C-alpha cells in the first residue's frame, strides 16, 4: 500500500497551484464528474507523443518505483509477473500461469519467447535475481517489507520460479502485479551495478516500450518495442517523450496550448479550464481515500468515543468543496468501492452501500466528548503546505474539534519533513492526527486493512486489536477472493467502529488528453499497466 | 611586476582554498544539525526494515561520528570523488555535470542582458537629466522591486501562453533552441540585477561628470563623445565591475527560484531540492561550487581593477 507516496505526488500536483497565481480558481460549482475505465480507442498510429510528468523521476530502478512519475514511465518499459488490467482485475503477465499447491508455496510458470529489450530471452534466473534484490538490505528497496514473509525464491525449471513463504500471505502474490513483481534481466542488473536505473545505466526490461534516452533535467524518451510479446498491446505510438513540468499552472498551460499532448494528475484548480479546452479531461478510479490517521492513542484520542465524536463533527462536504473544488465525495470508509475489485463490481457496490454514511452531528459529538471526560483536552494536528488539501483538512479538523470542546492545535511541518513523518515514528512524537492519502497497489482491499495490524508500518498510532489481528491472519491465508472479501468486510467493520483512522474523502484520478491523442486508461492502474501501448491518434 | 602578480595570485588561491574549507565545514555542520534523518527522507514514507535502515546508514557513513564523517568526505573530495547523491543514486560529479551547463548558460545569458541593459540605461539616465532620467529611475525602481517569481509568472502568461512566442518549460538543446528556451528565464533573472546595475552606473557616472577633470577636458575642447567614453565611463567602470562581479554569485543563487518557476532543471533547482531532502553530498558540492564561483568572480574583478585604474596596484592593501 502506497499511502504517502501518493500524498507526496498529489502534493506536487495540486500544491504549487498556489505559486501559479491561481487566478483560475473559479466557482467550483457542484462539479459533476464521471469516473471512467477507458477513453475512446485510438483510431490510428502516431509518430510521437509528448506526455507531462509533474517531476523528473529520481531513478528508473524498479526497487524504488513507488511514486507517480517513475511508475507512470516504468509501467510501459518494465513488466510484472502478473498484470492489473484497467478494469482492476489481476491477470497473467510475464507469468502465463501461477499455482498455489499449498498455502506456503506459489509456483510461477513464465511465458515462453519473451525477450528483453536487448534481445536476450527472459528466463527463471532473471525473475529470481529481480525479486531477491528487494530483500537485499544494501539495495534498500522500497518494497522490502512486501517480501517479509518470503522464505525463498528459487528457479525450479528454466521457465519456472517457486516462492516459499514462512506463513500464508496471499497479498504477496497479488502485489507481484505491481512494481514488486517487475522482471529485469539478471545479466543487465549485474553489469549495470550501482548505476542501474540512473541516466547512465538505464534499464533493460520486456515492456511494449524501451528506454531510448534519458536526458537528465530535460526528458525521458521511450521507443516502441517492435519485438513485444503481447500482440494485443502492440504500441500505436512510435515515440513517447516524457517532459517534466513542476509548476502546476505551467503544466496546465502546456496542455492547453497543445505543447504537450497529455498527462495524469492535474491541478484541481485547472480542471474548469481544461474542461473548456479542445482536449478532454477524464476521471478514473483510485483505490484509496484520504483519511486522518490517529497517531497517538495515549492522548485525548485514546478514547474511542472521542475519535467517534471527532469523526461526527467534521464537515466533509465543506472539505470536498474547499480542497477539491467539488471534484470528490465524502468517504465512508478508508478504502472506496473501487478498491474492492477482487469481488464482482455489484458485490463491491453492495458492500460499500451498506456502510452507514457518516452524518455530521456536532451536538451528539459534544455529548460523547463530555461522557469521555475529554472536554478541553489537547489534540495536535499536523499540517503542511505540501498540498493545499492537507491544510484544508487540518483546518476542518481543528474547527470540528473546537466545536465539540477539544483544544485543537495545528502544528505546521515543512513539506519534505511531512512525508518523513510516515517513515520515522520518532518524528511523529507529540502529534495526534496526521492527514494521509494513498492507493493500494492491488485491487484487494485487504492490502489496506492488513496494514492496520498490530505492529505494521502504516498503523501509525500503534493501534492494536486482537480480534482484528486474528481476522487479518485468517484473510491472508484465504485464497478464495470472495471468502477473503467477506473477512475483509469484518475488518472494515472493526476499523470503522474503532477508528484508528478517520475517513475523510474520496477523490478521482485525473487525466487530460489533447485533441490529437486518445486511448489510455484514466485510472490508477496506469502505474503498473502498460497504458501507453494503446495510446494513439484521435483522428 | 610579474613576481608580484604571481605572489598575489598565489595568495588568493591559498585564500580561496581556506575559504572553501571553512565553508564546507560550516555547511556540513549546518546540514547535520538540522533535524531529520536522511534515510527517512530517502524512504519517502515507505516502510523500511531495521536491517535496510542500518545498511543504508552505513552506506552513506551516517553511523560515523560527525567529525569522522567530515574528514571522510573531505578525503574523498580531495581524491576527486564528491560522493553519491542519496536521492538520485548517481555520482554527484555526474549529476552536477548534467545540470551545470544549463545553469551556466542561463547565468551567462542573464549576465549579458544585465550588462547591456543595465549599462545602457545607467548611461542614458546620467546623460539625459530630466524626463528620461525620471523614466529610467522609475523603471529601475520597479524592476528592482519585482521578485523574480512574480516576473516569471507574468512573463509566462504573456509571452508563452497568450502570445506563444516562447516555450513554457524546459531548457532546450543545441545553442539556438536553448537560447529560445532560456530567454524568459534569463529575463526574469536579469530584471532585478539590471535595475541595480543601472542605478550603480548612473551614480558612478554622475559622480565622474561633476569631477574637475571632466570640466577641464570639456574646456579644452575635447569632443563630448570622447569625454564621456574616456573620462567619465572609463573612470566609472571601477564600481560597475565590482558590482557585476558580485552579481555573478548572487545570480547563481537566484537561479534556484527562476529555474523552479520555469521547470528548468539546472543546478539552482537541484540545490533547493537537495536541501529539503537532506541530500548531503549534493548540497555540499553545490555550496562549494557557488562559493568558488563567487571567489573566482571576485578574483577576476581584482585582476581587472588595475587595468581600469592603474593607480590601484594589485594587493594594494599591502601598502
Predicted confidence (pLDDT) per residue in B160-181, tens digit = 878 878 887 777 778 888 888 8
- Nearest chain B residue to A1 by CA: give it: B46
Q: What is B273-319 written as a DSSP string?
A: HHHHTT-HHHHHHHHHHHHHHHHHHHHHHHHHHHHH-TTS-TTGGG-
What is the model's pLDDT at position A3? Answer: 45
Cβ of A144 within 8 Å of Cβ of B47? The answer is yes
What is the model's pLDDT at position B314? Answer: 58
B residues 195-234 closer than 8 Å to A (CB): none
What is the model's pLDDT at position B85? Answer: 84
What is the model's pLDDT at position A498? Answer: 94
Confidence of residue B36 (pLDDT cuts 50, 70, 90): low
Cβ of A216 within 8 Å of Cβ of B95? The answer is yes
pLDDT at A363 over 80: yes
Question: How close does chain A come to B145, measured CA to CA in Å?
Answer: 18
Phi-psi region at A418: left, alpha or beta (left = phi > 0; alpha = psi -120 to 50): alpha
What is the model's pLDDT at position A356? Answer: 86
Q: Where in chain A is the domain with CATH 3.10.105.10?
A: 290-506
Question: How close does chain B come to A365, measured CA to CA in Å?
Answer: 32
Which residues in chain A are closer than 8 Å to B102, comparing Cβ atoms? 217
From CA B89, how far away is CA B94, in angstroms rounded?
A: 11
Q: Where in chain A is the domain with CATH 3.90.76.10?
A: 82-191
Confidence of residue A22 (pLDDT cuts 50, 70, 90): very low
From CA A205, how far away is CA A74, in angstroms rounded?
A: 9
Cβ of A138 within 8 Å of Cβ of B55? The answer is yes
- Give pLDDT tens digits for A289-307: 899 999 999 999 999 999 9
**ipTM, 2 decimals?**
0.71
Closest among A401, A204, A214, A384 to A299, alpha carbons compared:
A401
Confidence of residue A470 (pLDDT cuts 50, 70, 90): very high
Confidence of residue B152 (pLDDT cuts 50, 70, 90): confident
Cell of A120: 536476450
- Nearest chain A residue to B164 by CA: give it: A257
What is the model's pLDDT at position B1? Answer: 53
End-to-end CA distance of chain A: 38
Residue B167: which of A7, A144, A259 has the nearest Cβ?
Answer: A259
Assigned CATH for A290-506: 3.10.105.10
Assigned CATH for A5-77+205-279+510-537: 3.40.190.10
The DSSP 8-state label assigned to residue B34 in this structure reads S
Question: How close does chain B come to A92, measured CA to CA in Å?
Answer: 27
Which residues in chain A are closer than 8 Å to B43, comparing Cβ atoms? 140, 142, 423
Cβ of A137 within 8 Å of Cβ of B36? The answer is no
Question: How close does chain B come to A253, measured CA to CA in Å?
Answer: 7
- In the numeric block, the cell 580531495 is attached to B78
The angle formed by the CA atoms of residues A283, A288 and A294, to the nearest 5 degrees, is 140
What is the model's pLDDT at position A416? Answer: 66
Other beta carbons within 10 angstroms of residue A414's beta carbon come to: 14
Alpha helices (runs of H) in A378-465, residue ranges in sequence order: 388-403, 415-423, 446-450
Q: Domain A82-191 falls in which CATH fold?
A: Dipeptide-binding Protein; domain 1 (3.90.76)
Which residues in chain B are closer than 8 Å to A423, comparing Cβ atoms? 40, 43-48
Cell of A488: 475483509
From CA B296, how far away is CA B13, in angstroms rounded?
A: 9
Cβ of B45 within 8 Å of Cβ of A417? The answer is no
pLDDT at A24 over 50: no
Amino acid at each position: 500500500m502506497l499511502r504517502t507516496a501518493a500524498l507526496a505526488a498529489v502534493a506536487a500536483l495540486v500544491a504549487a497551484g498556489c505559486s501559479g497565481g491561481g487566478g483560475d480558481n473559479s466557482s467550483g460549482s457542484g462539479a459533476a464528474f464521471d469516473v471512467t475505465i477507458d477513453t475512446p480507442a485510438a483510431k490510428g498510429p502516431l509518430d510521437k507523443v509528448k506526455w507531462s510528468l509533474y517531476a523528473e523521476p529520481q531513478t528508473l530502478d524498479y526497487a524504488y518505483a513507488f511514486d507517480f512519475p517513475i511508475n507512470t514511465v516504468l509501467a510501459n518499459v518494465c513488466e510484472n509477473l502478473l498484470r492489473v488490467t484497467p478494469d482492476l482485475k489481476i491477470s497473467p503477465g510475464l507469468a502465463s500461469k501461477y499455482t498455489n499447491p499449498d498455502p506456503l508455496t506459489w509456483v510461477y510458470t513464465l511465458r515462453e519467447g519473451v525477450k528483453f529489450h536487448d534481445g536476450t530471452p527472459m528466463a527463471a534466473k532473471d525473475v529470481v535475481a529481480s525479486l531477491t534484490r528487494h530483500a537485499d538490505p544494501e539495495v534498500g528497496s522500497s518494497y522490502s517489507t512486501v517480501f517479509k514473509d518470503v522464505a525463498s525464491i528459487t528457479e525450479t525449471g528454466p521457465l519456472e520460479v517457486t516462492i516459499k513463504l514462512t506463513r500464508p500471505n496471499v497479498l504477496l502474490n497479488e502485489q507481484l502485479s505491481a512494481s514488486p513483481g517487475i522482471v529485469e534481466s539478471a545479466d543487465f542488473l549485474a553489469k549495470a551495478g550501482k548505476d542501474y536505473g540512473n541516466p547512465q545505466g538505464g534499464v533493460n526490461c520486456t515492456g511494449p516500450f524501451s528506454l531510448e534516452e534519458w536526458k537528465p533535467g530535460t526528458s525521458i524518451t521511450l521507443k516502441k518495442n517492435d519485438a513485444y510479446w503481447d500482440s494485443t498491446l502492440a504500441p500505436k505510438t512510435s515515440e513517447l517523450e516524457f517532459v517534466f513540468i513542476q509548476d502546476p499552472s505551467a503544466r496546465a498551460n502546456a496542455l492547453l496550448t497543445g505543447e504537450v499532448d497529455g498527462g495524469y494528475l492535474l491541478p484541481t484548480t485547472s480542471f474548469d479550464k481544461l474542461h473548456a479546452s479542445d482536449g478532454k479531461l477524464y476521471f478514473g478510479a483510485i483505490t484509496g481515500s484520504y483519511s486522518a490517521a490517529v497517531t497517538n492513542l495515549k492522548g485525548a484520542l485514546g478514547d474511542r468515543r472521542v475519535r467517534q465524536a471527532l469523526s461526527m463533527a467534521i464537515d466533509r462536504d465543506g472539505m470536498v468543496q474547499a480542497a477539491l473544488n467539488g471534484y470528490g465525495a465524502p468517504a465512508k470508509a478508508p478504502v472506496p468501492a473501487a478498491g474492492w475489485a477482487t469481488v464482482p463490481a455489484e458485490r463491491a457496490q453492495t458492500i460499500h452501500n451498506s456502510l452507514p454514511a457518516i452524518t455530521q452531528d456536532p451536538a451528539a459529538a459534544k455529548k460523547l466528548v463530555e461522557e469521555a471526560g475529554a472536554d478541553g483536552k489537547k489534540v495536535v494536528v499536523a499540517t503542511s503546505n505540501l498540498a493545499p488539501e492537507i491544510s484544508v483538512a487540518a483546518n476542518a479538523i481543528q474547527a470540528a474539534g473546537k466545536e465539540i470542546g477539544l483544544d485543537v492545535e495545528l502544528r505546521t511541518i515543512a513539506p519534505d519533513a511531512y512525508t518523513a513523518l510516515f517513515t520515522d515514528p520518532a518524528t511523529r512524537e507529540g502529534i495526534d492526527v496526521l492527514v494521509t492519502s494513498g492507493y493500494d497497489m492491488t485491487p484487494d482491499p485487504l492490502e489496506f486493512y492488513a496494514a492496520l495490524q498490530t505492529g505494521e508500518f502504516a498503523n501509525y498510532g500503534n493501534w492494536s486489536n486482537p480480534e482484528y489481528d486474528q481476522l487479518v491472519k485468517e484473510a491472508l491465508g484465504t485464497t478464495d477472493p470472495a471468502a477473503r472479501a467477506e473477512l475483509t468486510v469484518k475488518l472494515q467493520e472493526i476499523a470503522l467502529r474503532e477508528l484508528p483512522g478517520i475517513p475523510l474523502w474520496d477523490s478521482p484520478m485525473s487525466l487530460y488528453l489533447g485533441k490529437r491523442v486518445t486511448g489510455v486508461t484514466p485510472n490508477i492502474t496506469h502505474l503498473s499497466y502498460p497504458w501507453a501501448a494503446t495510446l494513439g491518434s484521435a483522428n | 611586476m610579474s613576481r608580484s602578480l604571481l605572489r598575489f595570485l598565489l595568495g588568493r588561491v591559498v585564500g580561496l582554498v581556506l575559504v572553501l574549507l571553512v565553508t564546507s565545514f560550516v555547511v556540513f555542520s549546518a546540514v547535520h544539525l538540522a533535524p531529520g534523518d536522511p534515510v527517512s527522507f530517502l524512504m519517502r514514507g515507505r516502510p523500511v526494515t531495521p536491517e535496510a535502515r542500518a545498511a543504508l546508514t552505513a552506506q552513506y557513513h551516517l553511523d560515523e561520528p560527525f567529525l569522522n564523517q567530515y574528514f571522510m568526505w573531505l578525503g574523498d573530495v580531495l581524491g576527486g570523488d564528491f560522493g553519491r547523491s542519496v536521492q538520485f543514486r548517481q555520482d554527484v560529479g555526474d549529476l552536477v555535470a548534467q545540470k551545470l551547463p544549463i545553469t551556466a548558460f542561463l547565468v551567462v545569458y542573464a549576465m549579458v542582458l544585465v550588462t547591456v541593459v543595465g549599462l545602457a540605461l545607467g548611461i542614458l539616465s546620467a546623460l539625459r537629466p530630466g524626463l528620461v532620467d525620471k523614466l529610467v529611475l522609475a523603471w529601475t525602481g520597479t524592476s528592482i522591486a519585482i521578485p523574480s517569481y512574480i516576473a516569471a509568472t507574468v512573463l509566462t502568461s504573456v509571452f508563452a501562453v497568450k502570445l506563444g512566442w516562447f516555450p513554457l518549460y524546459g531548457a532546450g538543446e543545441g545553442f539556438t533552441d536553448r537560447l529560445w528556451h532560456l530567454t524568459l528565464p534569463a529575463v526574469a533573472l536579469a530584471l532585478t540585477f539590471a535595475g541595480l546595475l543601472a542605478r550603480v552606473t548612473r551614480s558612478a557616472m554622475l559622480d565622474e561628470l561633476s569631477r574637475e577633470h571632466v570640466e577641464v577636458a570639456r574646456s579644452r575642447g575635447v569632443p563630448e563623445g570622447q569625454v564621456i567614453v574616456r573620462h567619465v565611463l572609463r573612470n566609472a567602470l571601477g564600481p560597475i565591475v565590482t558590482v557585476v562581479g558580485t552579481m555573478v554569485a548572487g545570480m547563481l543563487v537566484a537561479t534556484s527560484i527562476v529555474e523552479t518557476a520555469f521547470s528548468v532543471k539546472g543546478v539552482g533547482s537541484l540545490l533547493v531540492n537537495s536541501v529539503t531532502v537532506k541530500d548531503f553530498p549534493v548540497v555540499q558540492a553545490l555550496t562549494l561550487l557557488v562559493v568558488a564561483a563567487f571567489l573566482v568572480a571576485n578574483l577576476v574583478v581584482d585582476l581587472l581593477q588595475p587595468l581600469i585604474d592603474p593607480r590601484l596596484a594589485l594587493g594594494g592593501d599591502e601598502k
